[in-house]
Structure 1
Amino acid sequence: MSQPEPSSPYLSGNFAPILMECDAHDLPVLGELPRALRGTLYRNGPNPQYAPRDAHYHWFIGDGMVHAFHIEDGRVRYRNRWVRTNKFQREQAAGHALFGSWGNPATTDPSVLGQNDGVANTNILWHGGRLLALEEADLPIELDSESLATRGDVDYGGKLDGAMTAHPKIDPVTGEMVFFAYSADGPFTPGMRYGVVDRDGRMQRLERFEAPFPSMVHDFMVTQNHVLFPILPLTGSMERAMRGEPAYAWEPKLGSHIGIMPRSGGAAQIRWFRGEACYVFHVMNAWESGSRIIADVMQYDTAPLFNPDANGARARLCRWTFDMAGKSDRFTREYLDDMPGEFPRFDERFSTLPYRHGYFAFRQHESSGRGSYDGLAHIDLHSGKRVTHVLPEGDAVSEPVFVPRAADSAEGDGWLLATVYRGAEARSDLAVYEAGALADGPVATVPLSHRVPFGFHGNWLGAD
């Protein structure tokens, strides 16, 4: 590294990058890995290659690094690789950072002004025969599922000419991947894009519409017949960025706007519902019940991270209900659980459909610090019962990923996989839990000799 990292909470502890790519061919296993667990857990997250140019570095903009844990016959092998984006390759050739935060021209080297600065650091999933590294401001990037080598941008035969969300939804009935993008007409613009890719990886639909205002729209909802676009008052502004102010800011007076579009229709049929200001980074699931649409989300009363007045804002699992048969443009909100948490997951064989079991990460010890979680929760949405597992103080856990025991297993019958940072040892484990017995702790842990830095999202690709 050509320069030392600046002082930043997002460049210290387990937020700090690891500066190597490595392979471990046969990791030790404590406990016993289920023999039926066969496949690969992929995780993605920020891992800056070089010290950032901006004094106020943000976690969201680090170069993407993918971590892969391949499990088979009770054994585990591990590999990590940076995603070779345009930004990564240009900076690697230069030997130092070239791009400013959020594409800010005021802090970008003139040699790369106007070039793609995507980092592919947010999510990773398999669809249409491709392993895709995703970030919401750019095209998907395909990786080799074994070597993690970067194969290049995916534009679906030239049909996708811009960004795609980091949170597409896979319809378990049709196999389609449904996606959206915000700032579709350039940074901090209100244009939105909606698209559908069929199960074989062919673009079927792509259209554009206008949101009420430019908003950071990190996630969205899909049911069997509808798509929901949450336009919430965390707004983007190039004018602010050029003045040296935060590009994103909390403007609660704008309220919340939820656009609902029929999947069989188009943008002209979007119906807008309105509510009080709130913010949502992540959605659990959404489905239909008669004339109602129901969505379970992790709702903040005020936007964290970008709002200096957030005062430690926490998300809680909240149910939004929309009456499509009614004439009102309002929707109802009901908290389902009082435990603050984030990174909601569920058995995604039930995506877009009614479901019962949900999982999320939460923070038990305030000493764990901002952006980290030290507990996992399982909530039974029929009974309301919550079961938890809490790590020792100083440790931290990632988003839990559900893996079904078999393709035809009952909902919730399977395992939760997560990486665990061991604070006292400055290294990480892979932890495997029985999803229905979370309180018992992991049935197996797989120790690494290095850290897996705090990241965002991951997914499982079964061996079959």
Structure 2
Amino acid sequence: MECDIDDVIIRGELPADLDITYFRNGPDPQFPPRGGHHWFAGDGMLHMFHVQNGRVRYRNRWVRTAKWALERREGRSLYSPFNPMQNDPITQEAPDEGLANTNVVWHGGKLLALEEGHAPFEIDPGTLESKGTWRYDGQFEGPMTAHPKIDPKTGEMLFFGYMVSGPFSAGMSYQTADANGALTRSERFDAPFASMVHDFITTDEHVIFPIFPATGSMERAMKGEPPLAWEPEKGTHIGVMRRDGSVADMRWFETDPCYVFHPMNAYTEGNRIVAHVMQFEEVPLFPHADGSPPDPEKAQARLCEWVFDLADNSNGVQRRYLDDISGEFPRLDERFTGNNYRHGYYGASIGGAGGLGFNAVAHQDFGTGRRSQHVLPEGDITGEPVFVPRSADAEEGDGYLLSVVYRARENRSDLMFLDANDVAAGPIACAELPHRVPYGFHGNWKYNS
């Protein structure tokens, strides 16, 4: 469903100083899936919340990729979620533009819908009209992560791609674009093995590429076995390079098998790199190589600290959990991306909720080591909490958290606004939609002027 709401009902009082547009992306299949359903496989659906003068205007639109258009024409699903060998033959007539269903970022004057297997897809920021694949004036090659990092000091955007040498290959890329959106760097290297590398980590001095044993295999795909699967015997390999260096200078660290969809942040401190990540003991949502399902106890993420000692020759990683609750979708005050910071936020499971349906928004204060949280009413589920500063020069953590929340009893969704300084106090306002927003992934915002 696509719709426009000119004046969303507001419960509470929106901050008068909020003058932003928040965009959120997520999967929303227009037809029943071909083969088994997978959360990651739906068509990209963008939701836009224009917040100004204490009011909210809403619009949502599917991203009109070639896949979306072909399936709309045929009136049915044509693509397998992860195995191209199982696509309908008619799909060969359409360009491969992917799903554009995972994240949406504003950079270089362009709004880009992202999904890690393909190039960015440009969207009109005012109308959500689909404009088509964006390849940086023809200079961009290969897929792009859905999680680029923007340097808060320079405006430079850093990003990578995996399986760039072909499906289920070990080839990876590292690229950068300046604040104006011009591609400034493009390098390639090989990972230790073909891995599903959803995200990466940056500091003001380093770039970190984590290669987990969630492997890709064309051999498995051709046999009808899981093309993406968990192979813990391969271990975890983490490549670290200086931002002013080259991929040829990559140093590889090794640690026990684990999986991380999303880091929170990291920083370089002398000869150490400290990273905070949401770590799983094994990858969720994907099977073992033999087809057996993941262990539900191990497929829960917890906030974990990684420390790399650059002066040590052991190439090991010190890891310790910082909390015992499960959670995901970590964010921070992005003005501190890649730098030492104090405040982090994530969706959390409090009181045994478990799984990937989070019933709380958690605030981790690294200065005090304490966690606070707002727990939703029973049955409600929150998405990713996105931080917006109260003003451009506000202190770190002084601002608001925005999150799309599903209201189970009413089968509809809100955009919830929390005071980031006092998450436990609960929402200061909610923009109440009359319909359900499908449980999705990531979003970002831009100033209206």
TM-score bracket, normalised by the shorter chain, equals: over 0.9
Match of 2:388 among 383, 403, 409: 403
Tell me whether 1:390 sits opposite 2:370 in the alignment. no
Tell me the secondary structure at the aligned position of residue 45 of structure 1: strand
State the Cα distance separating 1:51 from its structure 2 match: 1.4
1:130-168 CA distance string (max 9 Å, x none): 001000000001101110001111100111122100000
**One-letter amino acid of the counterpart of residue 412, structure 1:** G
Tell me the secondary structure at the aligned position of residue 98 of structure 2: coil
Match of 1:75 among 55, 59, 81: 55
**One-letter amino acid of the counterpart of residue 91, structure 2:** V
Q: CA RMSD in A?
A: 1.2
- Residue in structure 2 matched with residue 343 of structure 1 by the alignment: 329
Tell me the secondary structure at the aligned position of residue 82 of structure 2: helix
Tell me the secondary structure at the aligned position of residue 215 of structure 2: strand
State the Cα distance separating 1:309 from its structure 2 match: 3.2
State the Cα distance separating 1:50 from its structure 2 match: 1.1
**One-letter amino acid of the counterpart of residue 10, structure 2:** V
Tell me the secondary structure at the aligned position of residue 422 of structure 2: helix
Q: Residues of 2 paired with 1:370 and 1:351: CA distance?
A: 28
- Residue in structure 2 matched with residue 231 of structure 1 by the alignment: 211
Tell me whether 1:33 sits opposite 2:49 in the alignment. no
| Structure 1 outlier segments of 4+, above 6 Å | none
Q: Residues of 2 paired with 1:117 and 1:409: CA distance?
A: 40
Tell me whether 1:109 sits opposite 2:95 in the alignment. no
Tell me whether 1:171 sits opposite 2:145 in the alignment. no
Aligned pairs (5 A) from 1:50-449: 50-54=31-35, 56-105=36-85, 107-113=86-92, 115-116=95-96, 118-307=98-287, 308-312=293-297, 313-364=299-350, 366=352, 370-449=355-434
State the Cα distance separating 1:104 from its structure 2 match: 2.2
Q: Residues of 1 paired with 2:308 and 2:350: CA distance?
A: 33
1:100-156 CA distance string (max 9 Å, x none): 222422x21112138415000000010000001000000001101110001111100
- Residue in structure 1 matched with residue 2 of structure 2 by the alignment: 21
Task: Tell me, yes or no, if the aligned pair for 1:167 and 1:179 is still in contact at 8 Å.
Answer: yes
**One-letter amino acid of the counterpart of residue 372, structure 1:** G
Return closer, same or farther for 1:345/1:286 CA change in 2, 3 Å cut-off.
Answer: same
Task: Tell me, yes or no, if the aligned pair for 1:103 and 1:117 is still in contact at 8 Å.
Answer: no
State the Cα distance separating 1:187 from its structure 2 match: 1.2
Task: Tell me, yes or no, if the aligned pair for 1:374 and 1:390 is still in contact at 8 Å.
Answer: yes
State the Cα distance separating 1:422 from its structure 2 match: 0.7
Task: Tell me, yes or no, if the aligned pair for 2:121 and 2:134 is still in contact at 8 Å.
Answer: yes
Task: Tell me, yes or no, if the aligned pair for 1:365 and 1:393 is still in contact at 8 Å.
Answer: no
Return closer, same or farther for 1:369/1:322 CA change in 2, 3 Å cut-off.
Answer: closer
Tell me the secondary structure at the aligned position of residue 219 of structure 1: coil
**One-letter amino acid of the counterpart of residue 358, structure 2:** Y
Task: Tell me, yes or no, if the aligned pair for 2:280 and 2:302 is still in contact at 8 Å.
Answer: yes
Q: Residues of 2 paired with 1:359 and 1:164: CA distance?
A: 25
% identical aligned pairs: 54
1:173-196 CA distance string (max 9 Å, x none): 111000001101111100000000
State the Cα distance separating 1:370 from its structure 2 match: 3.9
Tell me the secondary structure at the aligned position of residue 173 of structure 1: coil
State the Cα distance separating 1:80 from its structure 2 match: 0.1
**One-letter amino acid of the counterpart of residue 317, structure 2:** F
Q: Residues of 2 paired with 1:344 and 1:178: CA distance?
A: 19
Return closer, same or farther for 1:265/1:210 CA change in 2, 3 Å cut-off.
Answer: same
Tell me the secondary structure at the aligned position of residue 436 of structure 1: coil
Match of 1:46 among 27, 30, 33: 27
Q: Residues of 2 paired with 1:443 and 1:359: CA distance?
A: 17
TM-score w.r.t. the length of structure 1 is 0.93
- Residue in structure 1 matched with residue 290 of structure 2 by the alignment: none
Q: Residues of 2 paired with 1:396 and 1:127: CA distance?
A: 30
1:88-107 CA distance string (max 9 Å, x none): 111111111122222422x2
Q: Residues of 1 paired with 2:426 and 2:260: CA distance?
A: 29
**One-letter amino acid of the counterpart of residue 21, structure 2:** T
Tell me the secondary structure at the aligned position of residue 402 of structure 1: strand
State the Cα distance separating 1:414 from its structure 2 match: 0.1
Tell me the secondary structure at the aligned position of residue 372 of structure 1: coil
1:48-69 CA distance string (max 9 Å, x none): 0111111x12111110000011
Task: Tell me, yes or no, if the aligned pair for 1:99 and 1:117 is still in contact at 8 Å.
Answer: no
Task: Tell me, yes or no, if the aligned pair for 2:159 and 2:176 is still in contact at 8 Å.
Answer: yes
The count of residues paired between Structure 1 and Structure 2 equals 442
Tell me the secondary structure at the aligned position of residue 101 of structure 1: coil
Structure 1 alignment gaps of length 5 or more: 1-19
Q: Residues of 1 paired with 2:317 and 2:407: CA distance?
A: 42
Q: Residues of 2 paired with 1:462 and 1:271: CA distance?
A: 39
Q: Residues of 1 paired with 2:41 and 2:132: CA distance?
A: 19
Q: Residues of 1 paired with 2:246 and 2:340: CA distance?
A: 24
**One-letter amino acid of the counterpart of residue 353, structure 1:** N
Task: Tell me, yes or no, if the aligned pair for 1:303 and 1:310 is still in contact at 8 Å.
Answer: no
Tell me the secondary structure at the aligned position of residue 421 of structure 2: helix
